[in-house]
Amino acid sequence: MTNSIAKFENVIIIGGGPAGLAAALYTARAGLKPLMFAGSPPGGQLMLTSEVENYPGFESILGPELIQKYRTHVQKFGVRILDQNITKVLFNKSPFTLDTVENSYQAKAVIIATGAKALWLGLENETRLRGKGVSACATCDGFFFKNKVVAVVGGGDTAMEEALTLTKFASKVHLIHRRDQFRASKIMQERVLKNPKIEVLYNTVITDVSGENRVEGVKLRSIKIDSGQARMTKSSHDDSRILKVDGLFLAIGHKPDTDIFLNHLELDSKGYIVTSGRLALELAKLKIKNEKFKITIENTKIEEIKNKFDFNYNSSTNISGVFAAGDCVDFVYKQAGIASGMGIAAALEVEKYLETYESRPKNA
Ligand SMILES: Cc1cc2nc3c(=O)[nH]c(=O)nc-3n(C[C@H](O)[C@H](O)[C@H](O)COP(=O)(O)OP(=O)(O)OC[C@H]3O[C@@H](n4cnc5c(N)ncnc54)[C@H](O)[C@@H]3O)c2cc1C
């Protein structure tokens, strides 16, 4: 329940991960006095990991420590951080309205940096062993598995990418998939199947992960997916077995945290926020008409929505004055450094946008 309309802000940032924090830093140093809703719990995906070794400037730092340093840094420049969630937005006229459970806020510009969540299997010991061998990011954590044996779960392009990335480090990669064939593109499947380090286990599910302080193995069971009925049936005999591995990588997808923007902003079919930068790339691919380029937004949708976007800004959503950055937009790289960079770009664009705010139309 909202009970009051609070102050009129220049810019409100939704999200307190690397993208939101970087946007906060730049907007604060530009004198825009940003208000940041860091979410509850705050900090984003890096709070779920241990060592981060690929964030430029830090040889090795714990994920939560990096976020804490970032928060201290932005607070030094006066950023007001509220560890609360925005529960509702109204973007049909400017200033925009954003609600928390208790209050209502208004802002001339908004930067959305709500990130994404990696999907986990929900195994009994999975959470306990996260950062101790259980991961959802081969680019981030593959390096820690030099000459080790790992398992990857999934059957789409991401799983193929993760398995291939891991072959650069691990001595062996077991790719575990519950169906009898992959969903991934043919070319990715071919690369995986040709790689001597990858062994595929079809019709197999992981029922738990084991290990005291680190992953030591995964418990497997054979299954048969009855695709005609889209039902899962157990194999006739219980063949539960342990596969010894040092790491388990989940590659079963990500879900962008964008539910509150549904019907308020253009989202793609997976829920990622469409920005003008991404749309421009899709339009260019359509124009070049080369089948090698994968189009990620349906052709008809691209044509339908393109006039809603302001292509003077890369990070603009279809609502002028609402910008987006980080993993809620980036369905490709999903890295903290990239999220930070996108947050910086959005902040610089907000600065430009606000220079001409007074002369702009206020209805979307
Ligand atoms: C296990 C794991 C390990 C990783 N390791 C690495 C690594 O080593 N190196 C690397 O570069 N990357 C790593 N990544 C990826 C990296 O964490 C992400 O790319 C990065 O955190 C994305 O930043 P973001 O700010 O876009 O989103 P997030 O980090 O997801 O942050 C989103 C923020 O938005 C908040 N939020 C969501 N909804 C709302 C709302 N309605 N109101 C207010 N706030 C909201 C959340 O609470 C959170 O604070 C890892 C990811 C995982 C899952």
pLDDT > 90 in the chain, percent: 80
CA distance linking residue 352 with residue 310, whole number of Å: 13
CB atoms within 10 A of CB 242: 12
Q: Which of 83, 99, 137, 330 is catalytic?
A: 137
Nearest ligand 1 atom, CA 41: 47
Give yes or no for residue 203 CB within 6 A of ligand 1: no
Q: Higher pLDDT residue, 359 or 136?
A: 136
Task: Quickly state the pLDDT bin for 228 (edges 50, 70, 90).
Answer: very low
Q: Is the dihedral of CA 222, 228, 231, 233 positive or negative?
A: negative
Average pLDDT, the chain: 92
Q: Report CA(114)–ligand 1 centroid distance (Å).
A: 8
| Tens digits of residue pLDDT in 297-321 | 887 888 889 999 999 999 999 999 9
Helices (H) and strands (E) in the chain, counts: 8, 20
CA distance linking residue 45 with residue 72, whole number of Å: 18
327 catalytic per annotation: no
Give yes or no for residue 86 CB within 6 A of ligand 1: yes
- CATH 3.50.50.60 positions along the chain are 5-117+254-359, 134-250
328 catalytic per annotation: no
State mean pLDDT over 159-180. 96
Which residues fall within 8 angstroms of residue 264, CB to CB, at 6 or more apart?
Answer: 89, 90, 91, 319
Q: What is the CATH number of domain 134-250?
A: 3.50.50.60
Give yes or no for residue 135 CB within 6 A of ligand 1: yes
Q: What is the CATH number of domain 5-117+254-359?
A: 3.50.50.60
Nearest ligand 1 atom, CA 40: 47
Task: Quickly state the pLDDT bin for 46 (edges 50, 70, 90).
Answer: very high
Give yes or no for residue 38 CB within 6 A of ligand 1: yes
Nearest Cα residue to 335 out of 161, 175, 141: 141
Judged against a pLDDT cut of 70, whether residue 226 lies above it is answered with: no
Q: Which of 99, 141, 257, 268 is catalytic?
A: 141
Q: Which of 83, 99, 140, 157 is catalytic?
A: 140
Do 10 and 96 contact (CB within 8 A), yes or no? no
